[in-house]
Amino acid sequence: MTRAPLLAIALLITTLPCAAAEKGDAAAGKSKVYTCAGCHGIPGWKNPYPNYHVPRIGGQNYDYLVTALTEYKTGERLHPTMRAQGESLSEQDIRDIATYLSGLAP
Amino acid sequence: MKRSFASLLITALVVCATPAFAKGDIEAGKAKAVPCQACHGADGNAADPQYPRLAGQYHDYLQRALHEYKKGDRKNPIMAGFAAPLSDEDIANLAAYFASLPGSKLTDLHGKVQGD
C-alpha cells in the first residue's frame, strides 16, 4: 500500500526529460555571439530605461543561458531587445551560444 | 524668472543623476542571503548549471531581476516565492552582497568575439 505511491513517484522521476541540456558547438557559438557583444561586450554598458547594467554573460552557467535565451525567444521573459534577438535564434544557435559563453573565464 | 528656471534645471539634473537602483548594504545583504545559497552556491558561483552565477554580477542588474520576479514580470516559481517578501531595501542589499563577492567567474564579452 505504501509502496505503490513511492513506485509511482520513482517512475515519474525517471521518466522526466533529462534536465541537463545537450551542449552545442563552441566554435560556431563564437561567431554567433558577434551581435551580443554590441551590448554585452562593452564594459559598463547600460540598458537605457530603466537604467541598469546589461549583465555579464561570459562564464555564466550553460543550462541557465539556454533557459534565458529560450524564454526571450518565446516571449516569456520580457525585454524588447533580447526578445528580438531571441526570435532570430534557432534552438541550435542557442545551444552553440550558451556553450561558447559558458566556457569563457574572466 | 531666471532663478526659477535655474532651480528647475538643478532639480532636473539631480533627478537625472540619481541612479534608478541605489546601492545597498553588503553586510545586511549577507544576512539575508542564506536561503539563496542552496541553489546559487555559498560563494555565489552556482555549481548546478541550471542556476545562474551571481558572484560579481552587476548589482543593478541583480536588483532588476529580483524586482521582475517580485512583480511577476519574470516567471519562475522558485524565485517568485523568494522575491515576494523582499522589500526594496532587501533587494538592494542582496544585490550589493552578491555583486561584491570575490572569485567571480563572470566576464563581459570584450575581446571575446570572432575577429577580436
**Structural domain of A43:** 24-102
Three-state DSSP at A63 gives helix
Asked if B50 contacts B40 with a C-beta cutoff of 8 angstroms, the reply is no
- Structural domain count, chain A: 1
What is the tens place of the pLDDT at every residue in B55-84?
999 999 999 999 999 999 999 999 999 999
Mean pLDDT of the A61-68 span: 98
Q: Taking the complete model, does pTM exceed 0.90, yes or no?
A: no
- Looking at residue B7, what is its pLDDT? 67
Helix axis angle, A62-74 to A80-87, nearest 10°: 100
| Residue B69 φ/ψ region, left for φ over 0, alpha for ψ in the -120 to 50 degree band, beta for the rest | alpha
Domains of chain B and any CATH numbers = 22-100 (1.10.760.10)
Is a pLDDT exceeding 70 seen at residue B48?
yes
> In this structure, what DSSP letter does residue A1 have?
-
pLDDT reported for residue B115: 72
Q: Give the model's pLDDT for residue B21.
A: 84
Residue A2: CB atoms within 10 A of its CB come to: 6
Residue A8 belongs to some domain of the structure: no
What residues of chain B, 51 to 90, have a C-beta less than 8 Å from chain A?
51-53, 56-58, 60-61, 63-64, 68, 73-75
Quick check: is A14 in a domain? no
pLDDT at residue B89 is higher than 80: yes
User: CB contact, 8 Å: B21 with chain A?
Assistant: yes
Cβ <8 Å between A53 and B112: no
Q: What is the CATH number of the domain that holds A37?
A: 1.10.760.10
User: Is a pLDDT exceeding 60 seen at residue A60?
Assistant: yes
- In the structure grid, which three cell numbers stand for residue B79, read together? 524565485
| A39 assigned to some structural domain | yes
Residue A6 lies in a domain: no
For B3-39, write each residue's pLDDT tens digit. 776 666 665 555 555 557 889 999 999 999 999 999 9
Q: What residues of chain A lie within 8 A of the CB of B49, using their CB?
A: 20, 61-64, 102
Residue A29 domain flag: yes
Q: Shortest Cα distance from B92 to chain A (angstroms)?
A: 13
Q: Which residues of A touch B51 (CB under 8 A)?
A: 61, 64
Provide the pLDDT for residue B14: 54
